DNA sequence: GTCAATGTTAAAGTTTGGTTGAAGTTTTCT
DNA sequence: AGAAAACTTCAACCAAACTTTAACATTGAC
C-alpha cells in the first residue's frame, strides 16, 4: 500500500469533483507529484488540505485568501493537528463578526426596513463600522466584510 | 418640491451606484417613470425598495429571489411598514439556519479539521442534514443551504 | 442661449469558482 | 495482449452581479 491517491480517489474521499481539484492545483492551493506517465498522485495529507479549503469556503474566504493561509503551513513536514488548529482559529474574529451581523439583522429587521431611517449609507444596521462597502464587481459574499 | 428622484439622487441617498440601479431595473427589481426627454425619475419609496434589496443581499438572497419577494408587495399603493415587515420576517428561518451553521463552525473548528474525521462527504459539521452539496457551478454562497 | 453636469443605451468586460467537452494517453484488469 | 476505466490538457462555457466604455441626449443654472 503506497499511500498515494489518484485524483479519482481524492475526489471520492473528499467529495470534491476532479475538475475542482485540478482547478485548485492551477490556483496553487494543492500540489501533486506525477507518475512516469504524467498522472497526478496526491499525498495523503492533501485530503486534509482539501477539507480545509471547503471549510474555509463555508467561512466565507475566497480561494486566494485560502491559498495565502495554506502557504503559512510548514513546507517540509506534514502539518500537525496543531498547525491546522492555528490556521483555522484565525477565522474566529471573522466568524464572530459575521454571526453578530446576522443576529443584528434578525433582531432588527422589522423596525429598520419599515421605518424612514434607511439611507443605507449611514444605517447602523448594515454599516456598524461606517464602511459603505463598494468593493468592485462579482458576486457578493455575505461574509466579505 | 416634486418628490421624484433622479438616478443620481437615488444613488447618492442609497449608496448604490447608478449602474447598479439601472441593472436592478433591467432585472425587474425597481421601476421608474420617464421624463419627456427619457430620463428616469424614481418615486420616493424606491429608496426603501433599494434598501430592502441590499439588506436582502446581506441575508444571502439572490436578486431573482429578491425580485420574487418584491413582487408580493401591493401594486397600486405605497407599501406600509407592515408590508415591509411581513416581507422581511420571511427571512427568519434562513437567518436562524445560517447563524446556527456559523456557530457550529466556530465552536468545532479546531477539533474537526485537525482530526482524521474529515472525509467531508459525511462530516456532520458541514453536512448536518446529510446533503453532500453538489449544486452546480458558480460561486458558493454561504447561505445557499 | 450656452454649457457643464447629468443622463441615455447597448454591448462588452470583470470576478469567482468552477464545469464541460474533445481528443488523446496511461493504468489496470483479465 | 487487449479492452475498459481512469487519466491528461486545453479551451470554451456558465452564472451572478455588476462595471466600463463609447457615443450621444437632456437638464438646469447662469
The answer to whether the CB atoms of B95 and A105 lie below 8 A apart is yes
DSSP state of B36: T
Only one residue has cell 467529495, namely A15
Q: Is the pTM of this model over 0.75?
A: yes
Question: Which distant-in-sequence residues (6+ apart) come within 8 Å of B56 by Cβ?
Answer: B65, B66, B69, B88, B91
pLDDT band at A131, cuts 50/70/90?
very low
If you measure CA to C1', which residue is closest to nucleotide C15?
Answer: A138
Report chain B residues whose CB lies below 8 A from the CB of A95: 102, 105-106
- CA B92, distance to chain mean position in Å, is 13
The gap between B25 CA and D29 C1' (Å) is 30
The gap between B19 CA and C9 C1' (Å) is 12
> Is pLDDT of A65 > 90?
yes
pLDDT band at B106, cuts 50/70/90?
confident
Q: What's residue A93's pLDDT? A: 86
In this structure, what C-alpha cell is assigned to residue A79? 502539518
> How many other β-carbons are positioned within 10 Å of the β-carbon of residue B21?
23
pLDDT band at A10, cuts 50/70/90?
very high
List beta partners, residue B5. Answer: B42
In this structure, what C-alpha cell is assigned to residue A102? 446576522
User: B91 at the A interface (CB within 8 A)?
Assistant: yes
**Across A94-103, A108-117, B37-46, which has the greatest mean pLDDT?**
B37-46
Average pLDDT, chain B: 79
Report chain B residues whose CB lies below 8 A from the CB of A134: 17
> How many other β-carbons are positioned within 10 Å of the β-carbon of residue A126?
23
Strand, helix or coil at A5?
Answer: strand
Summarize the confidence of residues A108-118 as an average pLDDT.
60
**A-to-B residue pairs, Cβ atoms closer than 8 angstroms:** 153
pLDDT one-digit tens code per residue, B115-125? 555 544 445 55
User: A50 at the B interface (CB within 8 A)?
Assistant: yes
**Segment among A101-115, A116-130, B99-113 with least mean pLDDT:** A116-130
**Across A20-34, B2-16, B97-111, which has the greatest mean pLDDT?**
A20-34
DSSP state of B31: -
Angle at A111 (CA atoms; ends A141, B100), nearest 5 degrees? 45
Report chain A residues whose CB lies below 8 A from the CB of B145: none
Where in chain B does DSSP place strands (E)? Answer: 33-34, 40-41
User: A94 at the B interface (CB within 8 A)?
Assistant: no
Which strand C bases fall within 7 angstroms of a protein CB? 6-9, 13-21, 25-28
For A86-123, letters b (16+ CB in 10 Å) and e give ebbeebeebbeebbebbebbbeebbebbbeeebebeeb
> Is pLDDT of B44 > 70?
yes
A94 CA: distance to closest CA in chain B (Å): 10
**Across B60-74, B81-95, B130-144, which has the greatest mean pLDDT?**
B60-74
The answer to whether the CB atoms of A120 and B50 lie below 8 A apart is yes
CB B115 within 8 A of CB A80: no
Amino acid at each position: 500500500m503506497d499511500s498515494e491517491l489518484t485524483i479519482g480517489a481524492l475526489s471520492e474521499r473528499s467529495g470534491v469533483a476532479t475538475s475542482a481539484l485540478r482547478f485548485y492545483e492551477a490556483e496553487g492551493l494543492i500540489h501533486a507529484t506525477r507518475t512516469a506517465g504524467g498522472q497526478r498522485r496526491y499525498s495523503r495529507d492533501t485530503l486534509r488540505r482539501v477539507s480545509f479549503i471547503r471549510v474555509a469556503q463555508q467561512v466565507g474566504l475566497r480561494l486566494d485568501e485560502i491559498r495565502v493561509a495554506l502557504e503559512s503551513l510548514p513546507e517540509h513536514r506534514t502539518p500537525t493537528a496543531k498547525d491546522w488548529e492555528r490556521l483555522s482559529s484565525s477565522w474566529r474574529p471573522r466568524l464572530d463578526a459575521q454571526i453578530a451581523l446576522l443576529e443584528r439583522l434578525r433582531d432588527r429587521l422589522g423596525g429598520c426596513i419599515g421605518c424612514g431611517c434607511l439611507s443605507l449609507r449611514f444605517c447602523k444596521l448594515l454599516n456598524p463600522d461606517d464602511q459603505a462597502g463598494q468593493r468592485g464587481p462579482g458576486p457578493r459574499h455575505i461574509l466579505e466584510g
